[in-house]
A and B are shown apart, each in its own frame.
Chain A
Amino acid sequence: MLPSDIHQRDTDMEDPRVLTEPEAFELVAHLVSSADTSLFEPRRYPPFRLLDAAGRLATIAADRVDGELRTFWAELAADIAANQDLMMWDPAGFEAFIRETTVRIVDEQRRRNDR
């Protein structure tokens, strides 16, 4: 999906603004510096960094919405926080969590489309 598509869709639906500019700056700094460390770190780290960034974003989003959306974001953030360190102890479990989370995102998208 192109960023312009996301923007167009945002204008078509309820639009709770999720990120303040300082929060966006901090998240971009995390992503850019993670891109840098991904050049030399073991290959299990880049997915960990992306998941970490997703958790940060989910945490922020949970604070800015209500109802079912809040539940979705809060639970997602909590589950990422609880499972992202599996990278260090349980690589297979870490990979399984990533795949399960991807499916969860698809399920959430379906739920939204069915509303």
Chain B
Amino acid sequence: MTGADHRPVMAAITARRVTRRFADDRLDRTVLAELIKAARWAPSAGNSRLHKFVVADDPSDLDAVDLVSPGMERPPPALIAVCTDLQACEDQGVEVDIDSTVLVDVGTAAMNILLAAHEMGIGACPTTSFSRSGVAAALRLPDRLRPEMLLQLGHPAPTETGTHRSTRLSVDDLTIWASD
């Protein structure tokens, strides 16, 4: 497609990129709360709502998370840890490591956050390469919360070009028409 896409949702989807380097300035908590608001509107299998969103914006906590997260280049100004609430899973009879919807819902919530952040001019980087036990300790998570994904957040650094190599398969390559 050439030129700007005037469909706002499609434009946001196609313009969003991962930000890996952030400016030092901290994010206002009202901004972070807006991102959680986006997450709460994500679809959830059976409306089960099995996840909690742990927000970290204290530099010492972020340093500790960075230390045990090989997928993180340096501590971001803030992050949201999308966590499975194991107690809620048990209460609802969800077998957490068998029911794939538990992780599907992590993805839908994270995507809402990524798109909302993009709209607000906030850079974001989803991260799954981290030690779960290490991050749980760094964020002082209760045993009932298991971190599944970290969303690094902050204003993009001036050196962040947003032009990381990005490969996308074509629609033809991705699509199998069931009736053909």
Contacts and interface: CB of A to CB of B under 8 A. Distances in A.
B38 interface: no
A44 to B, nearest CB: 12
B130 to A, nearest CB: 7
Most buried by A among B70, B132, B134: B70
Given A26-B67, A29-B67, A33-B69, A89 B130 contact: no
Interface string B125-164: 0001111111000000000000000000000000000000
B70 A37 contact: yes
Determine chain B's interface SS by DSSP, over half rule.
loop
Interface string A63-107: 000000000000000000000010001000000000000000000
Contacts of B167: 89
A80 B130 CA distance: 21
A37 B67 contact: no
A42 B108 CA distance: 22
Given A26-B67, A49-B70, A52-B70, A33 B165 contact: no
Contact of B131 (A26, A37, A45, A85): A37
A14 interface: no
A34 B70 contact: yes
Contacts, number: 33
B55 interface: no
A2 to B, nearest CB: 27
Contacts of B71: 37
Determine chain A's interface SS by DSSP, over half rule.
helix
Contacts of A29: 67-68
Nearest to A89: B165
A36 interface: yes
Contacts of B68: 29, 32-33, 36
Interface of A: 26, 29-30, 32-34, 36-37, 41, 45, 49, 52, 85, 89
The 6 tightest CB contacts between A and B, nearest first, are: A36-B131, A33-B131, A33-B68, A29-B67, A34-B70, A37-B129
24 contacts: A26-B67, A29-B67, A29-B68, A30-B70, A32-B131, A33-B67, A33-B68, A33-B69, A33-B70, A33-B130, A33-B131, A33-B134, A34-B70, A36-B131, A36-B133, A37-B71, A37-B129, A37-B130, A41-B128, A41-B129, A45-B129, A85-B165, A89-B165, A89-B167
Given A30-B70, A36-B132, 10 more contacts: A26-B67, A30-B67, A33-B67, A33-B70, A33-B130, A33-B131, A34-B70, A37-B70, A37-B129, A37-B130
